[in-house]
């Protein structure tokens, strides 16, 4: 039977059923997309480089902050050891200072004569 010969009520019923299927499909797609977004966000947070938590002290408010995202890792200082670390710490501390005290560097970095030193964790 062609659609033209389908009774009026049957066509209305078929259309209602179709609209119901569309609503159901849209609902499932929305739920899947939202769940997918949450799962992806969690996946990115755990899988991307730089996600290892490293505790650094925030000079602005004195509260600790975890360096755990690539963005956050780029913003905060990294830890280092040895004489070079103190120079790095001084330079980065000024870089992480509050907004009002941010100043451009007065001179380019220079090489140091101090010998490289490694502090091992082994005893």
Q: Does 108 bind other proteins (CB under 8 A)?
A: no
Q: Does 12 bind other proteins (CB under 8 A)?
A: no
Dig out the tokens for 54 from the structure.
């490293």
Residue 72's contacts (CB-CB under 8 Å, 6 or more residues apart) are 50, 65, 66
Q: What is the DSSP string of 28-57?
A: HHHHHHHHHHHHHHHHHHHHSTT-S-EEEE
Minimum CB distance to other proteins smaller for 68 or for 89: 68
Give the other-Cβ count within 10 Å of 115's Cβ: 7
Q: Does 22 bind other proteins (CB under 8 A)?
A: yes
Min dist. Cβ of residue 74 to other proteins (A)? 6
Q: Does 48 bind other proteins (CB under 8 A)?
A: yes
Say if CB 20 and CB 26 are below 8 A apart. no
Closest CA to 14 of 23, 27, 24, 3: 3
Binding mask 76-105 for other proteins (x = CB under 8 A): -------------------xxxxx--x-xx
Dig out the tokens for 15 from the structure.
């259309």
Minimum CB distance to other proteins smaller for 11 or for 117: 11
Binding site for other proteins (CB under 8 A): 14-15, 18-19, 21-22, 25-26, 29-30, 33, 36-38, 40-48, 51, 53, 58, 60-61, 63, 65-66, 68-72, 74-75, 95-99, 102, 104-105
């Amino acid at each position: 039977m062609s659609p033209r010969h389908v009774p009026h009520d049957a066509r209305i019923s078929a259309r209602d059923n179709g609209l119901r299927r569309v609503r159901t499909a849209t609902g499932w797609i929305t739920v899947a997309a939202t769940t997918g977004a949450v799962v992806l966000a969690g996946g990115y947070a755990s899988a991307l480089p730089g996600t290892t938590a490293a505790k650094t002290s925030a000079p602005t408010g004195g509260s600790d902050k975890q360096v755990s995202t690539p963005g956050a890792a780029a913003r905060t200082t990294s830890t280092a050891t040895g004489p070079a670390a103190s120079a790095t710490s001084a330079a980065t501390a000024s870089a992480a200072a509050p907004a009002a005290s941010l100043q451009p560097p007065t001179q380019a970095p220079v090489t140091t004569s101090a010998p490289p030193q490694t502090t091992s964790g082994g005893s």
